[in-house]
A and B are shown apart, each in its own frame.
Chain A
Amino acid sequence: DMQMTQSPSTLSASVGDRVTITCRASQSISSWLAWYQQKPGKAPKFLIYKASSLESGVPSRFSGSGSGTEFTLTISSLQPDDFATYYCQQYDHYPWTFGQGTKVEIK
């Protein structure tokens, strides 16, 4: 199965900081990558598809980049509502797989 590895596992940051999360695939997935945000006790929220396309309604401070095996999610200016856990997910082929998650905490 395709392995997805996120780093870091936990990130401490302050409001206004620029934050970058990395996701690496064990083999090339072209741009078939999505990002999700999950808050405690809630279902995940869809943020980005095809590595860099922003889902409708998602704030423009979120952006994604990358292709092949290395991808990033960037939050340009961290807001209080952004403290959450973020997951990458490949959909190049089944079984679809997620990264282990990156928890963004308040510094």
Chain B
Amino acid sequence: EVQLVESGGGLVQPGGPLKLSCAASGFTFSSHWMQWVRQAPGKGLVWVSYINFDGSNTGYADFVKGRFTISRDNAKNTLYLQMNSLRAEDTAIYYCVRDAGLPGGMDVWGQGTTVTVSS
């Protein structure tokens, strides 16, 4: 079964760090670009970051650029999101998502992990 399982969410103080992980199974992880998408409480979906097959190419939404770092370990079939300098507005469910590749779309979603930034 194709599956993505996120972990690492929790309560963190403003300005603090948190690292999310996403364990992939049931498919060839290294053959897919991967994405992070978040959803603030009661709000819509917002794209956060992408990473290519081997991690040599990454991209970020402006609101996380310089604070978040996406990475992957293909040997461990795991995607990461290192989040630093967290703000209250980063509070959200973070989804790990598989990029379907051309002709496009995001076809497999994890169940999400909740990040709460509060003092």
Partner-B contacts on A (CB < 8 A): 32, 34, 36, 38, 43-46, 48-50, 53, 55, 87, 89, 91, 94-101
Residues A96 and B47 in contact, CB atoms below 8 Å apart: yes
Partner-A contacts on B (CB < 8 A): 35, 44-47, 50, 59, 61-62, 95, 100, 103-112
Q: Which residue of A lies closest to B50 (CB)?
A: A94
Cβ contact of A44, chosen from B50, B104, B109, cutoff 8 A: B109
Total A-B residue pairs with C-beta atoms closer than 8 Å? 61
Residues A98 and B47 in contact, CB atoms below 8 Å apart: yes
Q: Give 24 A-B contacts (CB < 8 Å), ordered by A residue.
A: A34-B104, A34-B106, A38-B45, A45-B109, A46-B100, A46-B105, A46-B107, A46-B108, A49-B100, A49-B105, A50-B103, A50-B105, A53-B103, A87-B44, A87-B45, A89-B105, A89-B106, A91-B104, A95-B59, A96-B47, A96-B50, A98-B44, A98-B46, A101-B44
